[in-house]
């Protein structure tokens, strides 16, 4: 498969079973490639109407402290297409929202379901669930990481570019952002070079960034960060951005609008990227803020293919963790 060669055999793939999926940084390059290959195979089958009930009888519990469109629907539909079922659990409706400890909630839910997916604020929440759960825990999103989205992003890039290794990705916006963090981990693991354009004071989490610098050096890749968007955008194959104000930061809207206004992805600065660049956004997007309507609605945008690929990436995660 050209640039997406996978070195794991079926026995190696079984090494995923029963594990947690919390960050891409915890996976090897081969493991990420294996997930991408699995996602492509499952997508091909789905398009041909040949969904196989690999997970018949399996149940996924989905805990949401943050609202969601793509995460909820992709995991729920993914389980259905794989023959299993998914249960939506709002933190407001279960005892977790009334003060029950994560320890007790994880212990109890582990007796009912085969895996847990959690979309929450603090990353320590999913880590604590994983510590006490006896079934696999999947990070559907935290303030620090968004690995399921970035797996879908890598799948989309491969589909559009035919390779991953050697490409240059440019992330524009808030560097201290779950998308930026997971992109650093994922892109570098598959051989992509990464540049980050962000305002001063909004750099990535130091621990995540230092680990990414080490990974880049080990793999002979480029990882650059600057407040100069033009310098970072130059010759990019892939341009990515995210909202300027994430959930939980609503009281910072006015300040962030001022700070990030020079970091809008638009036609002018995209002229610096390669002519055949592709544009990604995890959605929801605010046209006229982090990205101009002409870019997100234009010929370089692949955001809806990217959104669809959440489904196929999620199915790959579920199958390899549960089968």
31 lies in the same domain as 169: no
Burial of 274 (C-beta count, 10 Å sphere; 0-12/13-18/19+): middle
289 lies in the same domain as 316: no
168 lies in the same domain as 281: yes
CA 156, CA 306: separation in Å to the nearest integer? 6
pLDDT digits (tens, 9 = 90+) for 119-176: 999 999 999 999 999 999 999 999 999 999 999 999 999 999 999 999 999 999 999 9
Q: Provide mean pLDDT across the span 274-281.
A: 98
What pLDDT was estimated at residue 4? 56
CA 19, CA 307: separation in Å to the nearest integer? 25
Percent of the chain having pLDDT more than 90? 89
Query: Could you please report the per-residue DSSP string of 36-87?
Result: HHHHHHHHHHHHTT----TTTT-EEEEEESS--SHHHHHHHHHHHHTT-EEE
Q: Which of 242, 264, 281, 314 is catalytic?
A: 242
Whether 280 is covered by a domain: the verdict is yes
CA 113, CA 34: separation in Å to the nearest integer? 25
292 lies in the same domain as 164: yes
CA 112, CA 230: separation in Å to the nearest integer? 52
The backbone torsions φ and ψ at residue 60, rounded to the nearest 5 degrees and listed phi first, read -105, 125
Q: Provide mean pLDDT across the span 67-77.
A: 96
165 lies in the same domain as 300: yes
235 classed as catalytic: no
191 lies in the same domain as 136: no
Whether 1 is covered by a domain: the verdict is no
Tokens 């990070």 appear where? 139
What pLDDT was estimated at residue 223? 98
91 lies in the same domain as 14: yes
Angle at 179 between CA 190 and CA 236, to 5 degrees: 55
Q: Provide mean pLDDT across the span 307-320.
A: 98
204 lies in the same domain as 81: no
What pLDDT was estimated at residue 7? 46
Q: Which of 81, 149, 264, 314 is catalytic?
A: 149
What mean pLDDT, rounded, does the chain reach? 94
Q: Does 2 have pLDDT greater than 60?
A: no
227 lies in the same domain as 259: yes
123 lies in the same domain as 180: no
Counted residue by residue, the chain has a size of 323
pLDDT digits (tens, 9 = 90+) for 219-244: 999 999 999 999 999 999 999 999 99
Whether 4 is covered by a domain: the verdict is no
104 classed as catalytic: no
157 lies in the same domain as 291: yes
- Residue 301 labeled ligand binder: no
Whether 187 is covered by a domain: the verdict is yes
- Residue 241 labeled ligand binder: no
Confidence of residue 94 (pLDDT cuts 50, 70, 90): confident
Whether 241 is covered by a domain: the verdict is yes
Q: Which of 33, 37, 119, 145 is catalytic?
A: 119
Tokens 């808030």 appear where? 174
CA 29, CA 239: separation in Å to the nearest integer? 22
Please give the C-alpha separations between residue 212 and each of 126, 132, 148, 171, 316, in angstroms, as whole numbers.
21, 28, 18, 14, 25
242 classed as catalytic: yes
What pLDDT was estimated at residue 3? 53
What pLDDT was estimated at residue 252? 87
Q: Does 9 have pLDDT greater than 90?
A: no
pLDDT digits (tens, 9 = 90+) for 30-62: 999 999 999 999 999 999 999 999 999 999 999
249 classed as catalytic: no
What pLDDT was estimated at residue 295? 98
What pLDDT was estimated at residue 10? 56
81 classed as catalytic: no
Residue 261 is part of a domain; what is its CATH number? 3.40.50.1370
Structural domain including 315 reads 10-146+310-322
Q: Does 15 have pLDDT greater than 90?
A: no
pLDDT digits (tens, 9 = 90+) for 167-202: 999 999 999 999 999 999 999 999 999 999 999 999
Q: Which of 146, 256, 281, 312 is catalytic?
A: 146
288 lies in the same domain as 314: no
- Longest CA–CA separation in the chain, Å: 55
């Amino acid at each position: 498969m050209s640039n997406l060669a996978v070195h794991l055999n079926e026995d190696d793939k079984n090494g995923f079973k029963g594990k947690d999926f919390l960050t891409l940084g915890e996976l090897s390059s081969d493991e990420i490639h294996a997930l991408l290959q699995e996602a492509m195979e499952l997508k091909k089958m789905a398009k041909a109407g040949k969904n196989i009930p690999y997970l018949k009888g399996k149940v996924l519990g989905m805990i949401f402290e943050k609202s969601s469109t793509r995460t909820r629907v992709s995991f729920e539909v993914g389980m259905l297409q794989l023959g299993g079922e998914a249960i939506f659990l709002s933190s407001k409706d279960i005892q977790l929202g009334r003060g029950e400890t994560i320890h007790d909630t994880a212990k109890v839910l582990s007796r009912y379901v085969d895996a847990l997916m959690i979309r929450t604020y603090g990353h320590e929440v999913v880590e604590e669930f994983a510590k006490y759960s006896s079934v696999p825990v999947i990070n559907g999103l935290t303030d620090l990481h968004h690995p399921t989205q970035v797996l879908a992003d890598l799948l989309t890039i491969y589909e559009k570019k035919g390779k991953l290794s050697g490409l240059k990705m440019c992330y524009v916006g808030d560097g201290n952002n779950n998308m930026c963090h997971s992109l650093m981990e994922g892109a570098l693991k598959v051989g992509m070079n990464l540049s980050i354009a962000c305002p001063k004071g909004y750099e990535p989490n130091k621990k995540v960034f230092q680990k990414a610098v080490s990974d880049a050096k080990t793999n002979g890749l480029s990882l650059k960060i600057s407040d100069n968007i033009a310098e970072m955008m130059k010759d990019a194959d892939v341009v990515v951005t995210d909202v300027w104000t994430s959930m939980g930061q609503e009281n910072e809207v006015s300040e962030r609008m001022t700070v990030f206004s020079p970091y809008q992805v638009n036609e002018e600065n995209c002229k610096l990227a390669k002519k055949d660049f592709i544009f990604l956004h995890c959605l929801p997007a605010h046209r006229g803020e982090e990205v101009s309507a002409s870019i997100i609605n234009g010929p370089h945008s692949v955001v809806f293919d990217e959104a669809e690929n959440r489904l196929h990436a999620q199915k790959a995660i579920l199958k390899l963790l549960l089968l």
